[in-house]
Amino acid sequence: MRDSKVIAPDLLAWYDRHARVLPWRQPPGGGPTDPYPVWLSEVMLQQTTVAAVRDYFRRFIALWPDVQALAAADDAAVMAEWAGLGYYARARNLLACARQVAAAGGFPTTREGLQALPGIGAYTSAAIAAIAYQHPETVVDGNVERVVARLFAVQQPLPEAKAHLTALAATLTPQERPGDYAQAMMDLGATICTPRSPACGICPLLAVCDARAQGIAAELPRKAAKAPKPERTGLVWVARQGDSVVLERRPAKGLLGGTLAFPSAGWDGRDLPPPGPAQWRDLGRVRHVFTHFALDLTVHLGELTGSPTRGELVPLRQIDRAALPGLMRKVWDMALDAIQG
């Protein structure tokens, strides 16, 4: 019978020796910790890899070392630092949450209180409660789903199996060191119980893994076939005037919300005109894949013959490529090649 008394000791002993060193994590056995870096890292890690998040996290902590500092930050500065991480609603919720927490004098200490904050759902609230406060909450991300699916040889495909896998994971959560245990499960999935070619021979849970015993570990978890992503098209204008180009702040809500961007239309539900009169030259298309659709955006470059009707002129030397969202970086790279060529 698998339960926390069987799984946790072996997994924690493995974690004590092999825990990943991450900038937001304290060493194994550290006990309760500041919820701010836990919360910040977990929000950044939503639908994003550890490798991509490391440098962003370090920059955020250097600029805004605590929740009060982040709450007082300028929205545009935070959005600029977030650029490239994608899913910009997370950055807007990050600010809203920081301001609510700062006004309350600190983070709630229960999962229920945490989950009531902007941008914090079931997973993030459980992670903060377990890691920061050492509450025995069950933390289930994609890595944990994979580990549990293999431990119990769950054949039901994802996403239908999510509730069942969460219930099974809850039977394994220990009362002691729940924060280390949650991170140990994540590390096991990220480094040993990997999606392809799992390293079963060195897994600390090898002896109790049903999928390994049945020879099907690499086949699990099964996944339902995905429907193809819808395709969209649109236009984007890189409008020059001398040594400046037009940029605009996108609406706070919606795709790429709150970010600096080149004026565009047709792909995001907004049927808008070009940013002014010009002889537009078609440079070609950039392709960008969002969560729910794929986009082909036709890039037009032109020299304005009058004042811009949308956005503001920004000197070329002041354009920070890193502050642009990923889609607009592709647009800028194409336009800059044409401008410099």
Identified catalytic residue from 42, 81, 145, 248: 42
Cβ-in-10-Å burial (0-12, 13-18, 19+) of 299 comes to buried
Give the residue from 236, 330, 229 showing the smallest Cα distance to 289. Answer: 229
> How many whole angstroms separate alpha carbon 47 and alpha carbon 159?
15
Q: What is the DSSP string of 34-71?
A: -HHHHHHHHHHHTTS-HHHHHHHHHHHHHH--SHHHHH
The neighbouring-strand residues paired with 233 are 296
Burial 200-225 (b: 16+ CB within 10 A, else e): beebbbeebbbbbeeeebeebbeeee
At position 208, the amino acid (one-letter code) is: V
Cβ-in-10-Å burial (0-12, 13-18, 19+) of 306 comes to exposed
Active site residue 176: no
Both tokens of residue 61? 């902590």
Q: Is 185 helix (H, G, I), strand (E, B) or coil?
A: helix
For the annotated catalytic residues, the residue numbers are 42
